[in-house]
Amino acid sequence: MPFNVLVTLRLIITMNRKELIEQIRTKKSFLCIGLDTDITKIPEHLLDTEDPVYEFNKQIIDATKEYCVSYKINTAFYESRGLAGWQSLIRTWNYLPKDTFSIADAKRGDIGNTSEMYAKAFFQAESSGMSFDSVTVAPYMGADSVKPFLKFENKWAIVLALTSNEGSKDFQFLPVAEDTMLFERVIQTVSGWGTNDNIMFVVGATRGESFLTIRKHAPDHFLLVPGVGAQGGNLQDVCKYGMNKDCGLLINSSRAVIYASSGKDFAEAAAAEARKVQNEMKLILESM
């Protein structure tokens, strides 16, 4: 194992599209919980434990796993802490329930051998100690930055398409042809590199009716949707414009769930927030 991390690798079971849809129907949820764990924000009483970040994640997972179908780990929060962070990351991946879809939110975007190494880092357990179901990928450098991730069987590349940050206006909405903006061309092109069994797209929740345009180009792909909750995205609007016959959405909520409380009741508060979102999702799914 790298860094002499003493963990026992969990049984590696990858989740394909059919299984993800089944989990959504079983749990009546399409909630993805983001483990964007900042050591400066976790409850103080955890700081005396051997691995505070992992202990925080472990308790959050235990409290919320019945309400969500996916966990997304933003790797920057772990990489920034060096060796200790990587140890927390590997331990957290090992602890993720086997019936949840795992996302390494790494936003990698390089080419050639570098991209292949990034794919191994998050997909190849015998190399890195982790085997996530998916990785977020930036497509700006073209096919060379995405296709290496698609070589791994039953793994997914989740490609940035339309984001909710202010800077998205710098490039994503530039016209590249008559009635076609850059983010549309990205979706059109990337869709041809794989299938809806191994490619998803990231679409920011605050884009509202833009989901109609997204669905025009990617009617059957799953969309990973950040921005509901703390960033102001509205779940009802996202579902109105973005759902397809299979649901087709993974709605991510990070801060609103994991930091629902800063006290010793943090896990219970996270569970209550996740349950609230899941109940809303249940009503939406039942109305489909």
- Please give the Cα distance from 142 to 82 (Å, whole number): 30
Q: Among 99, 145, 96, 100, which residue's Cα sits nearest to residue 125?
A: 96
Q: Among 177, 148, 48, 32, which residue's Cα sits nearest to residue 96?
A: 32
Catalytic residue among 28, 107, 240, 276: 107
Bridge partners of residue 71, in order along the sequence: 33, 102
- Please give the Cα distance from 288 to 285 (Å, whole number): 5
- Please give the Cα distance from 201 to 190 (Å, whole number): 9
CB within 8 Å of 106: residues ≥ 6 apart: 75, 118, 122, 135, 136
Q: Among 81, 84, 67, which residue's Cα sits nearest to residue 29?
A: 67
Q: Among 139, 141, 204, which residue's Cα sits nearest to residue 169?
A: 204
Half-sphere exposure of 267 (CA within 13 A, CB side): 14
**Between vectors from CA 249 to CA 60 and to CA 59, what angle results, nearest 5°?**
5
- For this structure, is 41 an active site residue? no
CA distances from 31 to 24, 78, 151 (A): 9, 22, 27
In total, the chain counts a number of residues equal to: 288
Catalytic (active-site) positions: 107
